[in-house]
Chains A and B, each alone.
Chain A
Amino acid sequence: MQPIISVQNLNKTYASGLKALSNINLEIHEGEIFALLGPNGAGKTTLISIICGIVNPTEGTVLADGHDILSDYRAARTKIGLVPQELTTDVFESVIATMNFSRGLFGKPPNPDYIEKVLRDLSLWEKKDAKIITLSGGMKRRVLIAKALSHEPKILFLDEPSAGVDVELRRDMWEMVRKLREDGVTIILTTHYIEEAEEMADRVGVINHGEIVLVEEKAQLMQKLGKKQIRLELLHSLEAIPETLSKHPLRLSSDGKELVYTYDTRSDETGITVLLKNLSEHGIDFRDLHTRESTLEEIFVSLVTKKK
């Protein structure tokens, strides 16, 4: 299947000499939720801005739904909606006026029914005549999303959608993003909140220092790089780990009440059976046992620090 967005050999060097992106190659599949993950200043916003036409690329090509973003920018941009990171709105306009403005700007004839639907979906309909300056930060964020959807885009970019957003709105937004995906909209979000990528994304791309470090299915990424831990709550606390158990990668908690065993899910031999057998041989009894997988955050931190 043809990718909905295809980035080839993209480079960006700002006039200041800052190299923001170096040789980016990336394909986004139609209908997926793709999370672009990276620390601040990694190049996430620059990449999005180039695809959306706000920043000029230095080198390379980008196709959106098969249309070159430079030579065929009208067709390409009509397909794309962008929710920027900053709360940039025309504060003196009413919500409905700003919606109509956005739709017109993207070359679509007026469609009051569609605009009403978008506003209702985002719980903004009641506020349609309110001036944007009177809305709360969360509401403004919704308005920006509504504006980005006003021209029925096939591809939606969300740049740091949950920056400065409360928990409730974040949940609402995730819900909305999933609904959009069901309608066939491809979603690309940038975030430095791992939780967000973990919660929503189908695939994750990690960007750091202007380079794509990796692109992987989220589930595979977690599995591939994931470490698991078993925590054993001991019946009697230990002073130290017995010598004979030292061949196992064990760690004793500072209060001596817990043994933590870390293993790699990828290896065939996890060593759990041997460990448990050895423990019972030493008469170390435990009251409870927990397992825990490493989060995307831990994976991410290890990836980013490894590259440095």
Chain B
Amino acid sequence: MNIYAIKAIYKFEMARTWRTLMQSIASPIISTSLYFVVFGAAIGSRMGEIEGVNYGAFIIPGLIMLSLMTESISNASFGIYLPKFSGTIFEVLSAPVSYIEILIGYVGAAATKSVILGVLILVTARLFVPYDIEHPFWMFGFLILTAITFSLFGFIIGIWADGFEKLQIIPLMIVTPLTFLGGTFYSIKMLPPIWQTITLFNPVVYLVSCFRWSFYGVADVNVVVSFGMTVLFLVICIGIVWWIFKTGYKLKN
């Protein structure tokens, strides 16, 4: 194991975060705070409780997931896309590092950033609404699992993309709609039965449901099923990354 290389990539990526603090940490916190103000304080006060949870508190897990997913994807996809774009990727490719090490460095750093962000949002939320965390261990576990899974997904997008437009298109056209329709702001039990079934094809539903369970002990979908679906998505991502590295897809000619 080339530990020095993993450290070098990880440090390099984290340095990029601190350099772009406003963009990578401050801006998602500000936008999430706005959600709390609008949906939690302004609109939420007129909404009833959902499954026995105050509306402001109900949306916290979903909002954290929303930021976690979009930021994991954007961090990881930028992290690997930029060296490809600027050409500095040659150094990583010519270095005595295995693909696993490259992956640990890039995805590890992207996931770290997202987890830091998730925790910061959690703390920020406290300023607006009181909440409890019933299963803190599982809450943290899901946070990390989701961060890693979506950072891997972002890594794949970053390798696949050969222009800035492609880099943005999946987060914008697929991930954002899925997160908004994934029960971030409502319980899927509030939907008509047909839509409840359709919604179950949206992977984000499982993530949000699972995460919300760790807070309040209530879930739209069975927790074990949710957890299983999250792990399945992780495994699919690992499979794609394995294939990318095996074939050198868009990395090596």
> Interface residues, chain A, CB within 8 Å of chain B?
14-15, 52-56, 73-78, 80, 82, 84, 86, 88-93, 97, 100-109, 147
Contact = CB atoms under 8 A, between A and B. Distances in A.
Contacts of B100: none
A82 B90 contact: yes
Contacts of A82: 90-91, 94
A100 B19 contact: no
B4 A109 contact: yes
B8 interface: yes
Given A55-B252, A101-B12, A88 B88 contact: yes
A285 B110 CA distance: 83
A102 B91 contact: yes
Contacts of A55: 252-253
A77 B252 contact: no
Contacts of B122: none
A23 to B, nearest CB: 19
B31 to A, nearest CB: 24
Helix, strand, loop or mixed for chain B's interface? helix
B248 A104 contact: no
B248 A56 contact: yes
B2 A56 contact: no
B161 interface: no
B2 A107 contact: yes
A105 B253 contact: no
B95 interface: yes
17 contacts: A15-B253, A73-B96, A74-B2, A74-B98, A77-B95, A78-B96, A80-B94, A88-B87, A90-B12, A100-B8, A103-B4, A104-B5, A104-B7, A107-B2, A107-B4, A107-B5, A107-B95
B4 A104 contact: yes
Contacts of B97: 105, 107
Interface of B: 2, 4-5, 7-9, 11-12, 15-16, 19, 83, 86-88, 90-98, 248, 252-253
Given A55-B253, A74-B2, A106 B96 contact: yes
B183 to A, nearest CB: 39
Contacts of A101: 8, 11-12
A158 B248 CA distance: 24
A52 B94 contact: yes
A88 B86 contact: yes
A90 B88 contact: yes
A54 B252 contact: yes
Contacts of B16: 92
Most buried by A among B2, B87, B98, B253: B253
A182 B19 CA distance: 41
Most buried by A among B9, B87, B91, B98: B91
A97 B86 contact: no
Contacts of B252: 54-56
Nearest to B251: A54
Contacts of A108: 4
A72 to B, nearest CB: 10
Contacts of A76: 96
Contacts of A103: 4, 8
A105 B9 contact: yes
A73 B92 CA distance: 13
B4 A77 contact: no
A228 B63 CA distance: 81
B88 A105 contact: no
Contacts of B96: 73-78, 106-107
B86 A90 contact: yes
Contacts of A15: 253
A76 B12 CA distance: 24
Given A101-B12, A107-B97, 7 more contacts: A14-B253, A53-B94, A55-B253, A75-B96, A88-B88, A106-B96, A107-B4
A114 to B, nearest CB: 14
For the complex of A and B, the 3 pairs showing the least CB-CB separation, nearest first, are A104-B8, A88-B87, A77-B96
A105 B91 contact: yes
B92 A105 contact: yes
Most buried by B among A88, A102, A107: A107
A91 B19 CA distance: 12
A89 B94 contact: no
Nearest to A16: B253
Nearest to A79: B96
Contacts of A107: 2, 4-5, 95-97
Contact of B253 (A56, A77, A102): A56
A102 B88 CA distance: 11
B9 A54 contact: no
B220 to A, nearest CB: 43
Contact of B95 (A90, A100, A105): A105
A125 B95 CA distance: 24
Contacts of B4: 103-109
Contacts of A147: 91
